[in-house]
Amino acid sequence: MQMSDQIKTAEEHILHTYNRFPVVFERGEGVYLYDSEGKKYLDFAAGIAVNALGYHYPGYDEALKGQVDKLLHISNLYYNEPVIEAGEKLVKQSGMSKVFFTNSGAEAIEGALKAAKKYAFVKTGHADHEIIAMEHSFHGRTVGALSVTGNVHYREPFEPLMGGVRFATFNDLDSVKAQLTDKTCAIICETVQGEGGIYPADPEFLSGLRRICDERDMILILDEIQCGMGRTGYGFAWQEYGVMPDIMTCAKALGCGVPVGAFVLNERAASASLEPGDHGTTYGGNPFVCAAVAKVLTIMEEDKIPEHVRELTPYLETKLEELKSRHACIKARRGAGFMQGLELDGVPVGQVVKKALAEGLVVISAGSNVLRLVPPLVIEKQQIDEMTAILDKCL
C-alpha cells in the first residue's frame, strides 16, 4: 500500500484530534527514522522528547523482550520484580523518597495534584484549597492537568474545570506572591516550560518558589515530564538549580517509548498525603513498563547519558547561534541542554517544520512561533552538523 493510501485509511478510521504530518513512519535505527516508502529522516523531535536513547539502543530491546517472556501484567494487588527495581532506581537517582507509577504524564500530574491537596487536608482538616500555576504552562489534557495549564485556548471548551486554580507569571516571583491566599496549598510549574516556548526557569525564581513553600508549609510541584531524564544535562532539570521539589512528575523519556509516567515525593509529602484507597491505577507500574524504566535508568547512569548532553550542549548552542546570525527571521535562541528553541519572526513555524520534513529532518514547534529541537540524547556532532545544514537550507 502506498503511503498516501495508508494516510487515507487512517483518516477514515481514527478520530481526527491531531493534524498529522503526511508521513507514515515504519521503523527507526539509531537517531534516524524511515517511512513506509523507505525515505530516511534525521530525528530531532524524538517522539516529543520521549525517545531519549534513539531507536534500538543496546540492551533496551532485549530487556523488553525478556520481560514479555516472563510476565506482562499482574495488577497492583501484588508485588512484581520490575516495579521494585524501577522504584528503587528512580528514588535513588532523584534523591527523593517514594514513587507512584502511572500510565502517562497527565496521570502523573493528576496524582501530584491529589497528593498536594491531601497533604493540605491532613494538615488543616478541610478541603477548599487552591493551587497556583503558571501562565503559558502545559501539564496535560485530562481535566485536572488541563485546569493547571496556563493556556485559555486549551481550557475554554471544557470549562468548568477543577476550581481553585490561580495563574501567575512564570519567572516573576512577585506575581506568584500576589496570588497567594490563606487557601493556597501548592505551586506547580515546569522547570523548563516546553509547549509555552522553551523557557528555562530563572534560578532566583525557582529558589523563591522553594522559599515560599517552606515558609507556608506548602507543596512545590515541579513538572519534569519533558525537561527531565537527562534532557538538560542532569538527571532532572531541578538538580542543576539545587532546588528539590516536594513532588516531581516525570514521563516521556522515563520509558523511552513505553507509555509510563510517575510522580515522586519527598519524605515530607509522602508521609502525610496519600494513603491506601486515596489513589490507584490498574496498569500503572506493571512488569512490562517497569522493565523498560529500570533499563532506561540503568543506561542513563552507566552510559553517562546526562554527561554526554552536557558535553555536547555548547556545540549545539554554537551551531544554533550561527544559524541565528545568518537568518534574520530567527529572533532568539533559548533552552537548556538538548531542549532548545528558535523563536521565529515573520516566518510561520509550521512552514519551516513542513519544509524540514520534506528535506529529511524531523523537528516540531512550541507555542505559536518557536521551532523546538528535542533530539535523542545520544546524538553526536555529526548529526548536529547535519541538522544545521538542513535547517540552514530550509530557512
Q: What is the DSSP string of 319-376?
A: HHHHHHHH-TTEEEEEEETTEEEEEESSS-HHHHHHHHHHTTEE-EEETTTEEEE---
Q: Residue 201: pLDDT above 90?
A: yes
Q: Which three cell numbers stand for residue 38?
A: 523507505
As a whole number, the mean pLDDT across the chain is 97
Decide if 3-52+305-394 and 71-302 have a common fold. Answer: no
Q: Does residue 135 surpass a pLDDT of 90?
A: yes
Residue 222 near residue 238 (C-beta atoms within 8 A): yes
Q: Is 72 in contact with 258 (CB distance < 8 Å)?
A: no
CA-nearest of 391, 346, 392, 393 to 372 is: 391
Stretch (H or E) spanning 393: helix 381-394
Instruction: Give the mean pLDDT of 216-229.
Output: 98
What is the C-alpha R_g of the chain?
21
Q: State CA 90 to chain mean position distance.
A: 16
Domain chopping of the chain, boundaries: 3-52+305-394, 71-302
Which tens digit of pLDDT belongs to each residue from 286-298?
999 999 999 999 9
- Determine the average pLDDT of the residues in 169-184: 98
**What pLDDT is stored for residue 146 in this prediction?**
98
Question: Mean pLDDT throughout 250-277?
Answer: 98
Assign domain 71-302 to its CATH architecture: 3-Layer(aba) Sandwich (3.40)
Residue 145 CA to residue 148 CA, distance in Å, equals: 6
Res. 1: pLDDT tops 90:
no
What is the fold, at CATH topology level, of the domain defined by 3-52+305-394?
Aspartate Aminotransferase, domain 1 (3.90.1150)
CB neighbours of 182 closer than 8 A, spacing ≥ 6? none
Give me the residues paired with residue 165 across strands.
131
Mean pLDDT of 278-285: 97
